[in-house]
Chain A
Amino acid sequence: MLSKQTKEAFLGPLNANNPVLVQILGICSALAVTVQLKPALVMGISVTIIVALANVVIALIRKSIPMRIRIIVQLVVVAALVTIVSEILKAFAYDVAMQLSVYIGLIITNCILMGRLEAFAMTNNVKDSLMDGLGNGFGYAMILVIVAFVRELFGSGKLLGYQIIPDSWYEAGYSNCGMMLMPAMALVLVGCVIWAHRSINDKEGK
């Protein structure tokens, strides 16, 4: 059903060409929203939707965009989409929108978006661009979820707000690792994920 190229556009960013781990794009928000799993999930989904739609829009009008002002055109398309998503979040998930604060607006300047629009949507057809956008969005969301999972589980003993670590552990002397809640640990965790990802991929390569 799907051609090889389309499949590659979707699957590549999930592992071998992951936007966060390999291309080092979109780091800012990946680190800032991962204290808890819920905002990380919302952020991952929002970015996936926006990158997929923006890719489609740019791919549709790619032939009529003058080269010199393409960056501004791309920014306006993305900014319009982000405004819509931000208004929807404020209407239906107000507390999460407040938690994410400026980082929703910062999706505009998320390098994944500009990177994909420049490198892929400007030169490919609509279907491939949609798949590429979805793949990159999921690849990004995956890393967010991994980091947020570790940080919420060890930082506050909860997942999605539900207590996971039983009370008996706390009575036996277990305590939450406050370090995990600090911004610094997000960086170290992403560093470790990159480490693991590279060592696995290097072995496969040999």
Chain B
Amino acid sequence: MEHALSLLVRTMFADNMVFAFFLGMCSFLAVSKDVKTSAGLGVAVIFVQTITLPVNYLLQVHVLAPLGLGYLSFILFIAVIAAITQLVEMIVEKVSPSLYSTLGIFLPLIAVNCAIMGGSLFMQQRVLLEPENVKAIANLGDAFAFAIGSGLGWMLAIVCLAGIREKMEYNDVPKPLQGIGITFITVGLMALAFMCFSGLNI
């Protein structure tokens, strides 16, 4: 339990998906124009991540590893992710049409969001680690903790960036740097700030 909790906090801050591994950058940069939409996308990512990662964990540990089919993992993981994303899309469309229309194109794109696929691939590496290692994923609880932590970290990052970009609307940025250029530099500075967490020992 303690291990799972420390894993959750670690993946949220020190091993933040966006700032430490650059995962999920495309939608991160494209959707972070206002806080409300980015919070919605963040929730969607947490949701998909929390379902797909434990499913992929079970597949990896109980199907792929015993049968020695490790090389099929890419195809299997992406199929699971695509199927679950489709499911989430249908549920969101039914439950909250307004959220569905704001998320628009980006909901299906979660299927190709690198944060989701990356989470599963990191999980595949981390099941091989010693159980004492702080990064190890030893059981299903750890897989859940890792999934929630990485999803929350991603949401935190996108909401922060959206807040900064909303404020930056009023700033006088050199013309060729406007838009995506300055966003990159902002994210770089945010990544520097997040590096302070890497010294954290939990």
Contact = CB atoms under 8 A, between A and B. Distances in A.
B79, B112, B113 pick with most chain A CB within 10 angstroms: B112
B29 to A, nearest CB: 6
Contacts of A72: 79, 82
Contact of A183 (B22, B118, B183): B22
Interface string B23-62: 1111001100000000000000000000000000000000
A75 B111 contact: yes
A138 to B, nearest CB: 20
Given A79-B74, A83-B74, 4 more contacts: A25-B26, A183-B22, A183-B195, A199-B176
A172 to B, nearest CB: 29
A69 to B, nearest CB: 10
| Chain B interface residue bracket vs A | 35 or more
Contacts of B182: 191
B185 interface: yes
A106 B114 contact: yes
Nearest to A72: B82
Given A28-B114, A72-B79, A106-B114, A194 B26 contact: no
Majority secondary structure of chain B interface residues (helix, strand, loop or mixed): helix
A187 interface: yes
15 contacts: A27-B29, A28-B26, A71-B108, A83-B72, A102-B121, A106-B114, A106-B117, A109-B118, A110-B114, A184-B189, A184-B195, A187-B187, A187-B188, A198-B177, A199-B176
Interface of A: 24-29, 31-32, 71-72, 75-76, 79-80, 82-83, 86-87, 101-102, 105-106, 108-111, 114, 182-188, 190-192, 194-195, 198-199, 202
A187 B25 CA distance: 11
B22 A188 contact: no
B188 A109 contact: no
Contacts of A198: 176-177, 181
